Amino acid sequence: MALWADITDSQRHFEIEVPLRALEEPVLRYAIFAFSSRHIDRQRQKDISEALQYHNHCLQLLIPVLSGPRDRITDTVLAAVAILRQHEEMDCEDNQFHLTGTTRILNTVSSFGSSGGLGEAAAWLCLREDIYISLISQRPLRTELHRFSNSDVFHREDDFAWASRMVFLLAKVLKYAFNYDRTVNPSRLEDIGKEIENWNARKPSTFQPIQYVPRSNEVHRRFPGVWMLLPVHVVGVQYYHIAQIILAFSNRPSPSLAYESFKQARNIEKIVRGHLLTVLGLAKSNPRAENTLFTARHSLVSCEF
């Protein structure tokens, strides 16, 4: 799990700190046991009763804390709920109970999005989970994005910070694109689109592919080959193309003439298809970036392919 939980975290909190804390924190330990057992059960097609036992033990510890004063909700608690969210995703029917829990914590305890350490690492993981659900359900994000406004990723210049900024920009797009409230100013999406293009223009050279091979029907290459340096670069570029897909769908004008409407629809389809093929090519070309396989699948669902 740490491979995708830490994908934009240079300090790898889920890989390094979470196991150490789990030695002393039962709530974190049971969350890890629940996720690990469920993962093994799926691979071996075994009964899930052991995973459910660990899950229930974890809930028995979490419920009193989450029902109490806010100051009892620590970064350890947020990390445990975030891990249970990963466990929940493996259910045949995703009820999103733990996603509701993580967003409620983030929206209530304002410091996690910019606290540094494990708390902020868990907050970014929860934000990406919210993004995935927003994509496939075409609903606005539940997370209040201003909770991240004081994060140091907006001031640092390392590649992990740049990737996190693109995650945040995609979250902003989804916040407005799937908000069907007519009071939302349409120019807001245009402004976010400019921010996204600014990110693309200014991103470090390390976000350029180390090799690119275009798709070709002649050699049965259905997707472009887009090989990146590290998983963090794959995430940043993939999220950029997903944001462009959402913007293309959202910025459709409403021409009155049927012919103009048809031309515009064909143009949008061409733009979306180009970005979507890149999203899929990135996932296929970079198997170490496991997150991108999930994101590619969610993108296909959101585009109704």
What is the mean predicted confidence (pLDDT) over 162-186?
Answer: 85
In angstroms, the CA 181 to CA 90 distance is: 33
Same domain, 114 and 170: no
∠ CA 154-160-166, nearest 5°, is 60
In angstroms, the CA 98 to CA 125 distance is: 13
Q: Average model confidence (pLDDT) for the chain? A: 85
Same domain, 120 and 225: no
Q: Give the pTM.
A: 0.88
- Give the total residue count for the chain: 305
| Predicted pLDDT at 256 | 47
Residue at 151 is within a domain: no
In angstroms, the CA 230 to CA 172 distance is: 25
CA torsion 220-226-227-231 (nearest 10°) is -120
Note down the domain range covering 118.
1-141
| Predicted pLDDT at 112 | 76
In angstroms, the CA 238 to CA 203 distance is: 13
Instruction: Show Cβ contacts of residue 99 under 8 Å, excluding neighbours closer than 6 positions.
Output: 85, 88, 126, 129, 130, 133, 142
Same domain, 125 and 241: no
Residue at 287 is within a domain: yes
pLDDT at residue 163 greater than cutoff 90: yes
Same domain, 167 and 292: yes
In sequence order, the β-bridge partners of residue 227 are 211
pLDDT at residue 123 greater than cutoff 70: yes
The last residue of one of the domains, among 141, 167, 185, is 141
Q: Quick one: pLDDT band at residue 290, thresholds 50, 70, 90?
A: confident
Domain count, the chain: 2
Same domain, 22 and 108: yes
What is the mean predicted confidence (pLDDT) over 194-205?
Answer: 97
Percent of the chain with pLDDT over 70: 84
Per-residue model confidence as pLDDT tens digits over 70-86: 878 899 999 998 888 87
Residue at 278 is within a domain: yes
Same domain, 133 and 216: no
Same domain, 171 and 228: yes
Residue at 231 is within a domain: yes
Same domain, 134 and 19: yes
Same domain, 179 and 254: yes
Residue at 148 is within a domain: no
Percent of the chain with pLDDT over 90: 44
∠ CA 248-251-252, nearest 5°, is 90
Residue at 167 is within a domain: yes
| Predicted pLDDT at 192 | 94
Same domain, 29 and 88: yes
Same domain, 120 and 175: no
Q: Is 264 exposed, middle or buried (0-12, 13-18, 19+ CB in 10 A)?
A: middle
Same domain, 77 and 137: yes
Which of 122, 158, 102 has the alpha carbon at shortest distance from 12?
122
Say if CB 299 and CB 245 are below 8 A apart: yes
Residue at 149 is within a domain: no
| Predicted pLDDT at 7 | 93
Of the ranges 57-61, 78-82, 243-247, 259-263, the best mean pLDDT one: 243-247
